[in-house]
Structure 1
């Protein structure tokens, strides 16, 4: 189960890297001053840093098989999940606005300038959903492994 958690965590991380790269490429950092982006940089980078540290701890756990490391990784995942839910809650209105704009035929010829469009509007829905799904799977597998359920 520890290897399954590792695979799920890596897949989650790959999706997260893609979303972070999209946000940075579309000007998410620059949009912090104007308030265009609804995702605060400290939340994004905190989510990323804690997830990356947790992944390193999990890799060490897989090698060393010390239960304290499994619980440490799980403890790191809790704030990662909380920050992820915060970002999801702030992203949903941006996604809905994009969907509403796409449904309005009059809105397409007059697209707003790229700096007025939140960077997170460019997140593909399948990537967001897959990232969230694999994150939940990772959290559950890490908890089950820390509890000693399913063997290691």
Structure 2
């Protein structure tokens, strides 16, 4: 089960890296001053940092098989999940606005693009897959830490 958790964690991280890269590339950091982005940079980078640290701890756990490391990784995942839910709640209205709005005209596309939140460019399938794999990872890590299913 520990290897399954590692695989789901890595898949989750890949989706997260894609969204982080999209958010940065589309000006998410610059949009902090104007308030255009609904995702605060400390939340975005806190989510990323804690998830990355947790993944490193989990890899060490898989190699060393020390139960304390499994619980440490699980403890790190809890605030990661909380920050993820905060970002999801702030992203949903942006997604709804995108789904309801018409695409900007070609002549004003650049100006309109600057006024759009960076997270508007997150593809729905990536967001859904990231969340689904994150939940599966959290459950697998908990079960492994509890000693259910072997390690």
Structures share a fold, TM > 0.5?
A: yes
Tell me how far 1:81 sits from its aligned partner: 0.0
Tell me how far 1:73 sits from its aligned partner: 0.1
Match of 2:57 in 1: 57
Aligned mates of 2:117, 2:90 — CA distance in 1: 11
1:17-28 pair list within 5 angstroms: 17-28=17-28
Please state if 1:125 is matched with 2:128.
Answer: no
Tell me how far 1:8 sits from its aligned partner: 0.2
1:1-152 pair list within 5 angstroms: 1-102=1-102, 108-109=104-105, 111=109, 113-152=112-151
RMSD of equivalent CA atoms: 1.0
Give the number of equivalent residue pairs: 148
Tell me how far 1:108 sits from its aligned partner: 4.0
Aligned mates of 1:19, 1:47 — CA distance in 2: 12
Aligned mates of 1:114, 1:41 — CA distance in 2: 19
Q: What residue ranges of structure 2 are gaps of 5+ in the alignment?
A: none
**Deviation readout 1:84-110 (Å, 9 max, x if unpaired):** 0000000000000000004xxxx5436
**Deviation readout 1:58-78 (Å, 9 max, x if unpaired):** 000000000000000000000
Q: What residue ranges of structure 1 are gaps of 5+ in the alignment?
A: none
Tell me how far 1:115 sits from its aligned partner: 1.5
Query: Bigger shift: 38-47 or 110-119?
Result: 110-119
